[in-house]
Structure 1
Amino acid sequence: MSLIGQPAPDFTLPANTGETVTLSSYRGHQNVVLVFYPLDFSPVCSMQLPEYSGRQDDFAEAGAAVLGVNRDSIHAHRAWAAEYGIEVPLLSDMNLNVARQYGVAIDERGISGRAVFLIDKGGVVRFQHIEAQTGEYTVRPEAVLAKIREL
């Protein structure tokens, strides 16, 4: 299911930062990179999210906010972020409703797949990549930054 060219499904989720994040609140002033990932503390995720977090300044310079999304609790997110130095907000989609809206829920495993969505300032999905396997991590921050610069 491709969401490219479609309005991004809106949502409001709690974040490990203590705030509640609503996607539509970025409309009009910032692009958003949604990074869906299966589980906190898992090997590939523990590479991916720190990598995106480490490029946070580059994303900010390109006019984009990075948001990590999965089904873990905000408590797990806080512990994982502290241990791995992850500074991007990690959103808790515990019932996978948002993952379902984006077509990345793996209900039989109770997790979301690994996927990246780029949403422009107008709230429209401009890029999406859903990994074939949850253990794959092929879309690195540089590739997403290049897509943002094309907007």
Structure 2
Amino acid sequence: MAHPLIGQPAPDFTLKASTSDMITLSSFKGQKNVVLVFYPLDFSPVCSMQLPEYSGRRDDFAQFDTVVFGINRDSVYTHKAWAAEFGIELPLLADIKCDVAKAYGVYIEEKGHSGRAVFLIDKKGIVRDAHIENATSEFTLHADDLLKKIEQLAAMV
């Protein structure tokens, strides 16, 4: 079943990043594709595989005019510590109240955090793909697969 946001304008937000910048999604419109990587918690086992893998491929994403952001409910301070320990060079966004996770339909109420999900937003600000894992312990959309989706998006333009 397709996610209801596919083909729709991406819900906009402004959040503080681990880089100390304020990141506003709509500021990338007309310039970059954006990948939003929702993940449950910093320092958790699966997240500590997924985000470093994506981070290690930053140059590959950049070749397709694409920026990648990790996003969860942890604070900027936790993000900075985790990024330093695991060598993550992607900006990690602090969605402390999970408002953005809720807007994207990936908030898990009973757990108090987001699920594991990846959204691909094109340069026009439209959600073009959503990959939602069945369980937070799953990580099936590896960097190679995500890059293939971005390459297909680039070919459509």
Partners of 1:107 and 1:98 in 2: how far apart? 13
Identify the residue that residue 95 of structure 2 maps to in structure 1: 93
Offset, 1:150:
1.1
Q: Name the count of aligned residue pairs.
A: 151
Partners of 1:2 and 1:57 in 2: how far apart? 30
Partners of 1:144 and 1:45 in 2: how far apart? 16
Partners of 2:4 and 2:80 in 1: how far apart? 32
Identity %: 64
Identify the residue that residue 36 of structure 1 maps to in structure 2: 38
Partners of 2:145 and 2:24 in 1: how far apart? 25
Does residue 67 of structure 1 match 2:69?
yes
Partners of 2:33 and 2:53 in 1: how far apart? 19
Q: Deviations over 1:28-69 (max 9, x none)?
A: 010000000000000000000000000000000111000000
Q: Secondary structure of 1:147's partner?
A: helix
Identify the residue that residue 114 of structure 2 maps to in structure 1: 112
Q: Deviations over 1:49-104 (max 9, x none)?
A: 00000000000011100000000000000000000000000000000000000000
| Stretches (4+) displaced over 4 A | none
Among 130, 133, 149, the alignment partner of 1:131 is 133
Q: TM-score, normalised by structure 1?
A: 0.98
Identify the residue that residue 55 of structure 2 maps to in structure 1: 53
Structure 2: which 5+ residue stretches go unaligned?
none
Among 5, 8, 11, the alignment partner of 1:9 is 11
Structure 1: which 5+ residue stretches go unaligned?
none
Q: TM-score, normalised by structure 2?
A: 0.95
